[in-house]
């Protein structure tokens, strides 16, 4: 069951009221552990500031410690250990590798520190989880790809460019996409790409082009915009024009610009504010010793823990005609950010300028 965005926000504002959150030591410390928090990363641009803002709104006296693991599992484990040693009260964790962080989550649990899994479901005794419905993400990508392929959908060939097997979300997206594609299109090649690396996607796509012939590839289901970038670069190097329809996810600025320019067909927009708000609200509630029953009406399991209170949010598919009414309207990007001088003509044609 999916919680509507409006309900999440209402609970976020009402569930904790204006009460101060206190632990035995005084003000609460919230650890926010992100895989990457640089200015150009999604988590650095959107998740980190939104989580911190909501925590301060809900708990003005809370101390917030945010880290950037630079996509390194060992670094993130060290950061968790450091926070636990310093006496953090609750953790919001977007795991670099959900499976590898199981021991760290267990260590937090043993110290009485609840963990909110953010966006990716870490293994171990997680206390709460917030993410977007991954099956919906995959279905949206698959349905959009079939629409874009048109008459080629039934007799054409698709290449699937999936995320890494270490990320449970990647498998979730993949299963959602396959629920749409199986029996409706031929999946000629399927690749799982380590760490969501664009370079790996480029290499794998080059292999698919060599094996199948670029002109015989009628669509590519790329699981996110980063992988889509690697796919597109492989087609360009191979001199394939026009490009087949290619999907994406995360609504990265470069991905949106590729959509406007006609290189990428669609992306999946996941409004980050409701996700960040829900995670912050869970963390504050757990720090107060409260249950999450009023915040999460869904339960999911990981490899070691059952019935984890979960908030599932609805993703939004975006093609060129949707950009203004979704990404621009929500304030994610401005027209000027999207419409570089090189894209002015394409932006005019898309009705963005």
Q: Model confidence over 181-208: pLDDT tens digits?
A: 999 999 999 999 998 999 999 999 999 9
- Taking a C-beta distance cutoff of 8 angstroms, is the pair 141, 266 a contact? yes
Residue 148, pLDDT > 70, answer: yes
Residue 34, pLDDT > 60, answer: yes
- Strands (E) across 79-180 are located at 90-93, 115-118, 128-132, 157-162
Q: What pLDDT score was predicted for residue 166?
A: 87
Start-to-end CA distance of the chain, whole Å, equals 38
Q: Which of 280, 253, 249 is nearest to 265 (CA)?
A: 249
The residue assigned the tokens 């999911």 is 300
Average pLDDT of 300-305? 94
CA–CA gap between residue 252 and residue 255 (Å, rounded): 5
Task: Determine whether 198 is exposed, middle or buried from the number of CB atoms within 10 Å of its CB (0-12, 13-18, 19+).
Answer: buried
Tell me which of 24 and 319 has the higher pLDDT. 319
Q: What pLDDT score was predicted for residue 10?
A: 44
Q: What pLDDT score was predicted for residue 42?
A: 80
- Taking a C-beta distance cutoff of 8 angstroms, is the pair 105, 116 a contact? no
- Taking a C-beta distance cutoff of 8 angstroms, is the pair 115, 130 a contact? no
CB atoms within 10 A of CB 307: 9
Between 19-23, 31-35, 332-336, the lowest mean confidence (pLDDT) is in 19-23
> Where residue 19 falls among pLDDT bands split at 50, 70, 90?
very low
Please write the tens of the pLDDT for every residue from 252-293.
999 999 999 999 999 999 999 999 999 999 999 999 999 999
- Taking a C-beta distance cutoff of 8 angstroms, is the pair 268, 140 a contact? yes
DSSP 203: H
Residue 4, pLDDT > 60, answer: no
Please write the tens of the pLDDT for every residue from 55-72.
999 999 999 999 999 989
CA–CA gap between residue 336 and residue 256 (Å, rounded): 13
CA–CA gap between residue 353 and residue 351 (Å, rounded): 6
Average pLDDT of 229-252? 97
> Where residue 26 falls among pLDDT bands split at 50, 70, 90?
low
CB atoms within 10 A of CB 127: 23
Q: What pLDDT score was predicted for residue 224?
A: 97
Please write the tens of the pLDDT for every residue from 77-113.
999 999 999 999 999 999 999 999 999 999 999 999 9
Residue 153, pLDDT > 60, answer: yes
- The CA-atom distances, in angstroms, between 117 and each of 44, 101, 243, 275, 331 are 17, 11, 37, 11, 26
Structural element, H or E, at residue 316: strand 316-318
Tell me which of 36 and 282 has the higher pLDDT. 282
């Amino acid at each position: 069951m999916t919680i509507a965005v409006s309900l999440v926000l209402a609970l976020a504002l009402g569930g904790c009221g204006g009460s101060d959150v206190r632990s035995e030591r005084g003000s609460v410390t919230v650890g926010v552990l992100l895989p990457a928090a640089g200015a150009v990363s999604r988590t650095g641009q959107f998740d980190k500031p939104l989580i911190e803002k909501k925590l301060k709104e809900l708990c003005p006296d809370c101390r917030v410690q945010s880290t950037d693991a630079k996509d390194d599992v060992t670094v993130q484990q060290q950061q968790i250990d450091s926070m636990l040693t310093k006496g953090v009260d609750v953790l919001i964790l977007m795991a670099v590798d959900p499976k590898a962080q199981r021991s760290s989550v267990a260590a937090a649990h043993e110290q009485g520190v609840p963990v909110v899994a953010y966006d990716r479901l870490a293994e171990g005794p997680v206390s709460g989880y917030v993410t977007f419905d991954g099956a919906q993400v995959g279905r949206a990508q698959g349905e959009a790809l079939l629409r874009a392929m048109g008459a080629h959908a039934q007799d054409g060939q698709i290449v699937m460019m999936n995320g890494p097997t270490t990320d449970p979300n990647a498998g979730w997206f993949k299963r959602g996409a396959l629920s749409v594609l199986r029996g409706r299109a031929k999946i000629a090649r399927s690749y799982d790409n380590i760490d969501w690396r664009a370079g790996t996607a480029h290499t794998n796509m080059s292999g698919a082009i060599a094996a199948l012939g670029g002109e015989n590839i009628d669509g590519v289901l790329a699981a996110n915009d980063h992988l889509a970038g690697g796919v597109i670069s492989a087609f360009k190097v191979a001199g394939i024009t026009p490009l087949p329809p290619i999907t994406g996810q995360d609504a990265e600025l470069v991905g949106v610009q590729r959509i406007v320019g006609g290189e990428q067909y669609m992306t999946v927009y996941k409004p980050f504010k409701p996700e960040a708000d829900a995670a912050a609200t869970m963390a504050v509630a757990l720090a107060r010793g409260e249950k999450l029953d009023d915040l999460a009406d869904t339960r999911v399991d990981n490899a070691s823990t059952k019935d984890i209170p979960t908030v599932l949010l609805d993703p939004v598919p975006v093609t060129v005609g949707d950009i203004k009414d979704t990404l621009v309207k929500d304030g994610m990007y401005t027209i000027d950010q999207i419409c570089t001088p090189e894209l002015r003509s394409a932006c005019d044609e898309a009705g963005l300028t």
